[in-house]
């Protein structure tokens, strides 16, 4: 997948709404068609593949964020299904291990999935050191992100999802060939919500992020079109 060239193409609009009608209304409220939209668990569980087709028909590419985490064969078949839907990006948990990620990478490289960017989710932005420790991982988030990013890289995965706080260290460790998608992006004028490791859009791009996932600061704003334009202006 080609890297974005315009500031607005760096923004992935998170369609965290319960149904297709809500997603389409949200797109209409932005005033222009986003280059990329994220469909996550809530929307895909409610509407299934039809919502992917609906968003693509509006001219936006789709980031299908389902965070696959299962045995290698199951994940490989899920990746093939995602490729068949024509999505641009999809996610799997790096903690699923090298066999799972290698099977996914092989599936993505096969006919029909060559343009699909696989992204390994490292540490969720809702996690901090205390949350990690409660799961038996006694390292700080940055160390765990780099560990999992290295595992993904060795397994043939082309990109990662990490918080803005780990962008610089990931970029320094793995170079420009690694695609980095970053949630946890909040303009100064927006509330942090339930994400702990956050950064402003401009700072995240300067740190080395390729794409920024932005939801509530735009989609829950009183005037989404103005909020979207404000973020684009900040990146420009």
Q: Catalogue the E-assigned strands of 89-197.
A: 89-93, 117-121, 159-161, 179-182
Q: What residues contact 32, with CB distance under 8 A and at least 6 apart?
A: 8, 228
Q: Which of 53, 67, 106, 225 is catalytic?
A: 67
CA distance 27 to 13: 9
Query: Is 165 known to be catalytic?
Result: no
In terms of Cα–Cα distance, which of 41, 97, 106 is closest to 69? 97
CA distance 57 to 120: 27
CA distance 203 to 209: 9
3-class secondary structure, 54 = helix
Enzyme catalytic residues: 67
């Amino acid at each position: 997948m080609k890297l974005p060239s315009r500031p607005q193409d760096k923004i992935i609009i998170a369609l965290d709404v319960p149904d297709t009608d809500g997603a389409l209304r949200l797109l209409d409220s932005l005033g222009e068609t986003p280059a990329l939209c994220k469909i996550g668990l809530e929307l895909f569980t409610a509407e299934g593949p039809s919502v992917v087709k609906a968003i693509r028909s509006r001219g936006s590419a789709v980031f299908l964020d389902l965070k696959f985490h299962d045995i290698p064969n199951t994940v490989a078949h899920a990746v093939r299904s995602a490729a068949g839907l024509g999505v641009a990006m999809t996610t799997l948990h790096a903690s699923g291990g090298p066999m799972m990620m290698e099977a996914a990478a092989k599936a993505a490289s096969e006919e029909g999935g060559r343009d699909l960017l696989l992204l390994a989710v490292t540490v969720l932005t809702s996690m901090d050191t205390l949350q990690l420790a409660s799961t038996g991982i006694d390292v700080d988030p940055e160390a765990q992100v780099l560990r999992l990013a290295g595992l993904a890289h060795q397994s043939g995965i082309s990109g990662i999802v990490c918080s803005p706080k780990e962008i610089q260290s990931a970029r320094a460790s793995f170079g420009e060939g690694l695609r980095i998608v970053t949630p946890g992006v909040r303009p100064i004028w927006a509330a942090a919500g339930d994400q702990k490791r956050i950064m402003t859009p401009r700072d995240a791009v300067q740190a080395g992020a390729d794409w920024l996932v932005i939801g509530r600061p735009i989609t829950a704003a009183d005037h989404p079109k103005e909020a979207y334009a404000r973020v684009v202006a900040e990146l420009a």
